[in-house]
A and B are shown apart, each in its own frame.
Chain A
Amino acid sequence: NAGVMQNPRHLVRRRGQEARLRCSPMKGHSHVYWYRQLPEEGLKFMVYLQKENIIDESGMPKERFSAEFPKEGPSILRIQQVVRGDSAAYFCASSPPLAAAVDTQYFGPGTRLTVL
């Protein structure tokens, strides 16, 4: 059973460009979470999604950031008009459906975004 997959692993963008980060949850998992990790800091919750629904986006900046988890395909975290402060590692996690241990989150390897 493959784990959570994220791509790309490393992404370099210039200021003003768009960044798209992809996350494929573990097989059978229907909940996806995105976190951001700044250097030498813990992870900060950004958004929680289920298929075709955003459940909680309270940790996501109001502007330039958006997330989706379509019926088919991976979850996408999109950052428009990137700025240097967006440079961080972005981690995706997934968990099983509510009937199982919904709060056991399994993390992907992360995407390291560098904004030049």
Chain B
Amino acid sequence: GENVEQHPSTLSVQEGDSAVIKCTYSDSASNYFPWYKQELGKGPQLIIDIRSNVGEKKDQRIAVTLNKTAKHFSLHITETQPEDSAVYFCAAGPNDYKLSFGAGTTVTVRA
């Protein structure tokens, strides 16, 4: 099955700086790579996703890159704000349904 590793486990950044989270996966059959943000006491919320036919995708301050050859993908948050503080999860899976999640990165944005 798929095995997703996520680094770092915690990340503290100064407001306005960038945050980068990296994930690797093992199953070359994975074609879908979503990122979720989870705030305390809430369910994960999809913030951006990328599919295997795209190398990079951007949505305002959030961008995701994918390197299928190396089997890794990354989340980039620019101009971080205090409301970006949360736990971020990467996930990987085939096009049908089963997602495997990383262990999460706790991001703290210092004001």
Contacts and interface: CB of A to CB of B under 8 A. Distances in A.
Nearest to A50: B97
A42 B42 contact: no
B96 A106 contact: no
Interface string A51-72: 0000110010000000000000
A102 B104 contact: no
Interface residues on A, range: 20 to 34
Contact of B97 (A6, A44, A102, A106): A102
Interface in B45-93: 45-46, 49, 89, 91, 93
A42 B89 contact: yes
A11 B36 CA distance: 25
B34 A104 contact: yes
A6 B34 CA distance: 22
Interface of B: 4, 6, 32, 34, 36, 41-46, 49, 89, 91, 93, 95-104
